[in-house]
Amino acid sequence: MRFLIVDDSSTMRRIIINTLHKVGYRDCTEASNGREALDRLAASGADMIITDWNMPEMSGLDFIRAVRANAATRDLPVLMVTTNAAKDDIVAAMRAGINGYVVKPFTPETIKEKVEGMIAQHAGRAAPRPV
């Protein structure tokens, strides 16, 4: 399972990667914004994306829209990890095409449960298209 972790905070990328390592997922690539993440996807692909929302250059929302618009990546499961917790934010993220949502701050268990749930769900069906 190859993960692409997208966050402008190197600390947050490290926390997420440490959590994934602890539960046995060791293949993680990092990007610090949406544009860099699209380059990483084009170069080496991924099986799951974990992305922040507020980032310079290209936001998480614009990044997800670009992922869903590309035939090669549109079915990838996407988990958003962000401080944006308002109902309107979650609706906007769902419309852009996310599969899961975690609000910062979070415990490692929350990330673990969400990732494992999404993997199980994705094994059964393709990711939703943007609404």
Instruction: Work out whether 121 is an interface residue with another protein (CB under 8 A).
Output: no
- Comparison of 12 and 94: residue with beta carbon closer to another protein: 12
Instruction: State the Cα–Cα distance between residues 78 and 68, nearest whole angstrom.
Output: 10
Among 18, 44, 70, 121, binds another protein (CB under 8 A): 18
Query: Is residue 108 reached through a cis peptide bond, with omega within 30 degrees of 0 on the bond before it?
Result: no
Kindly identify the residues of this chain, within the stretch 44-83, that bind another protein according to CB under 8 A.
54, 83
Instruction: Work out whether 91 is an interface residue with another protein (CB under 8 A).
Output: no
What are the start-end ranges of the H helices in the chain? 10-22, 34-44, 60-69, 87-96, 108-124
Q: Is 31:6 a contact under the CB 8 Å cutoff? A: yes
CA max distance for the chain: 35
Instruction: Work out whether 86 is an interface residue with another protein (CB under 8 A).
Output: yes
Tell me the window of 6-14, 41-49, 93-101, 117-125 that interacts with another protein (CB under 8 A).
Answer: 6-14
Among 103, 112, 113, 128, binds another protein (CB under 8 A): 103
Residues 6+ apart with CB under 8 A from 91: none
Query: Could you list the residues that contact another protein (CB under 8 A)?
Result: 9-12, 14-15, 18, 54, 83-86, 103-107
